[in-house]
Structure 1
Amino acid sequence: MKADPGLYDYWPYRDRPKVVWPDGKRLAFWVAPNIEFYELDPPPNPQRKAWTKPTPDVMPYSYRDYGNRVGHWRMMELLDRFKIRGSISLSVALIDHHPEIIQACVERSWEFFSHGIYNTRYCYGMDEAQERAIIEDAIETVQRATGQRISGWLAPALTHTERTMDLLAEYGLTYTCDLFHDDQPTPVKVAGKQRFCSVPYSLEMNDSITFNVQNITPRRYVDILKANFDRLYKEGEESGTVMCIPLHAYLIGQPYRLEPFAEALDYITSHDGVWVTTGREIARYWLDNYYDKAAADIAARAT
C-alpha cells in the first residue's frame, strides 16, 4: 500500500494565486444539510458495524429518524429565514422513503449531491463494479426525482476505496467533500485528467462532531462558528476562502439548539463580503476561473 494516495500535491496556503468570488466577495459560505436514512438492520459489512448493539438497536435508529420526521422541517424553515439554499448531502434511498422531504427541497431550489444510498452501507471492500453501481444509481435516481444531475459527492459514512475519486470524475462529477485539508478549493488528481476539485467541507464546524463527539453546548457552538467565520473572513480579503457548515437535522433541529444557531447564521450572512451559495456553484466558479492558475502554481513550485 502507498504511504500517500497521491490525490493532491502539497500546496502552501500563503502566496497562492488570488481568488476573488463573484461580485468581489471574499468568503463563499455554504450550508450542507445531511439528509440521511439509516437502516435498522442493514446488510453486514465485515469491516464496520452499523450499530454497536445487537439488532434491533432501536435507540440510535429512532434518534436519527427524528431528523426526518421533525428536525428537517425546523431546519428548512430556519434556512429560509436567512435565504440560504441548502446543499444536500443525500442518502439517495431517502427519495423512496420520504419523497415529501425531497419535494420541499426541490421547491426551494436546493442543491442535491450524493452521500451514498444509505448511511449504513459502507464502501469498504467494494469491488469496482459495486462502486460503479452506487454512483450510477445516485446519478440516475436523483435526476429522475429532482431534475438535477449531481455534481458532488460525500462518501457514505466517509468510506472510500482507492478508486473512488477516479470514478466520480469519470462519471462527470466535479467536486468531492471528502478531503478536509484546506480552506480553499484545490485540484484533485484523477486518472482521466478531468478537472476535479475539493470543495472545503468542515469536520470542525460539523454539528455531528461538536454535539455528539465534543459535547459542546449550543451557545458554545455559536461562539465557535463566529470565531471560525471571523478568521476566514479576514483572510478572505487577501484571497477568497470557503466556510461550510455541515448539519444533521436530528441534531440542529432539536428545539433548544435551533435559535442559538440562528444567531450564528444572522451574524455570518450580515457581512457584505459573503457569497451565500452552494457547493456546486463554488466548484463551478473555481474550476472555470482558478483551476488552471492553481495547477500552474503547483507545478511551478514542484520544479
Structure 2
Amino acid sequence: MATAYKQFLPPRDFVGYGLDTPKGDVWPNGAKIAVSFVLNYEEGAEHTVWNGDEHSEPFLNEANYFRNRVDGRRDMYTESLYDYGIRVGVPRIIRLFKKFNWPFTLWLNSRAIEASAQYGPVLVDMGCDMAAHGNRWITQTELSGPEEEATHVAQGIERIQAASGLKDVPTGWYLGRGSLYSKHIISKVHKEKGVPLLYCSDCYADDLPFWVEDPLTLDGEEDKGMLMVPYGLVNNDHKFYSKGAGASTGKDWFDILKGDFETLYSEAEEGSPKMMTIALHSRLIGRPGRLQGLKQFMEYISAREGVWVTTRADIARHWRSKFPYEKPQRLVHN
C-alpha cells in the first residue's frame, strides 16, 4: 500500500563520543550531572476491552511479568492493578516531588492522561515536561500500517494538548514499542501541526544527548538534525518485576540508583559531566515500600553539589543552544 511515510534507518554508530566525551562546562552553572526523572503515565491506555481491545494488558503488572490473557472479556484483576497507579501512585509521587520542588518528565500515553485529565493542570503547574509515550500503550506494529500509526500520533498530540491546556506539547517522544516508520511519522506530523519537536528518546546508546540526521531528509527537506536524549532501562522501576538483576525492596532500588549515580558523578569530577535517567511507573514505584527507596535516593543526591535535577525538555533546549547540530559529511541509509 502506498504511504507518505518512510522507514528511518540511519547507519549504526559504534563511535559516539568515544574518548572525546564533552568536557568541562557542559551543563548550566557548572553542574556535574543532569538528573532526569521520568514518569511513565500509562494507566488507562493499556490493552483492555474497556478501550475496545480484544484482550487485557498482559505486561508489567503485579500478578506476574507476563500474565495470560483471555480474549473478549475484561480482566478486572489486571485493570484494578493498573487503576492503583492513578488512584494512589500518581498522588503519592506528586506529593513527594513537591517536597523537593523538582519537576519531572512525563511519558504520557495520551489516552491515559485523557482518562485522568484532572492531573493535567497539576503537572503543568509543577513545571513538568509534557512528552509523549504514544497515543495508546501498545506496540505500533499492531496497527494496520504507517497511515494508522500517523493517525495515532496526531490524536496523541491533540489529547495531550487538551489535557494540559498547552499548544507547544508534546515536547518530545518515547515510544519504546515503535515501528521502523515511527521517527519519520512523528517528525512529519509535528511539522504539519506546527508543534516544535525538541527531542526523541527512543534510544539507549549513550549517557549524553547526541544528534542524528533529521528524518525529514527522507522527504528531501533540509537536514536540521534530530536530537536524541537517551532513555534507559537499567535505572527503571520495572526492575521490581525483573528476574535476576532485579529489585525486591526499596533498599535494592536505592542501591541500584546510587551505584549508577556515583559512577557518573565521579566521571564528572574527572572533567566529563554526564546525564542520568531514572524511569518510574506510578503503579510500580507508587507502592509504599518501594517509594521509600526513591525518596532515599532523592535525599541522597539533594545533599550533593552540582546536581541539576531537570526535565528532558530543558536538557534538550540547553544542548541545542550549547552543542548545535553539525551535519555529517555523508549520509548513508541501509
Give the structure-2-normalised TM-score: 0.79
Cα separation, 2, equivalents of 1:63 and 1:134: 26
| Deviation per residue, 1:81-118 (Å, 9 max, x gap) | 12210211111112331111222212212111111122
Shift of 1:7: 5.7
2:225 alignment counterpart: 195
Cα separation, 2, equivalents of 1:173 and 1:260: 33
Q: 2:215 touches 2:226 (CA, 8 Å); kept in 1?
A: no
Shift of 1:195: 2.5
Shift of 1:124: 0.5
2:99 alignment counterpart: 81
2:266 alignment counterpart: 234
2:203 alignment counterpart: 179
> 52-61 or 172-181: which moved more?
52-61
Q: 2:212 touches 2:228 (CA, 8 Å); kept in 1?
A: yes
2:141 alignment counterpart: 124
SS in 1 for 2:34: strand
> 1:16–1:288: structure 2 CA closer, same or farther, 3 Å change rule?
same
Q: Which amino acid aligns with 2:262?
A: D
> 126-135 or 89-98: which moved more?
126-135
Aligned counterparts, 1:97-116, within 5 A = 97-116=115-134
> 1:62–1:25: structure 2 CA closer, same or farther, 3 Å change rule?
same
Shift of 1:154: 1.2
SS in 1 for 2:35: strand
2:81 alignment counterpart: 63
1:216 alignment counterpart: 247
1:285 alignment counterpart: 318
Q: Which amino acid aligns with 2:26?
A: V
1:152 alignment counterpart: 172
Aligned counterparts, 1:10-29, within 5 A = 10=14, 11-18=16-23, 20-29=26-35
Q: 1:8 touches 1:189 (CA, 8 Å); kept in 2?
A: no
Cα separation, 2, equivalents of 1:91 and 1:138: 8
Shift of 1:166: 2.0
1:5 alignment counterpart: 9
Q: 1:28 touches 1:277 (CA, 8 Å); kept in 2?
A: yes
Stretches of structure 2 lacking an aligned partner (at least 5 in a row): 1-7, 60-66, 191-195, 217-222
> 1:228–1:17: structure 2 CA closer, same or farther, 3 Å change rule?
closer
Shift of 1:188: 2.4
Cα separation, 1, equivalents of 2:54 and 2:117: 28
> How many pairs does the alignment contain?
290
Cα separation, 1, equivalents of 2:29 and 2:202: 28
SS in 1 for 2:305: coil
Q: 1:8 touches 1:187 (CA, 8 Å); kept in 2?
A: no
1:133 alignment counterpart: 151
Shift of 1:33: 0.7
Cα separation, 2, equivalents of 1:111 and 1:254: 23
Identity of aligned residues (%): 28
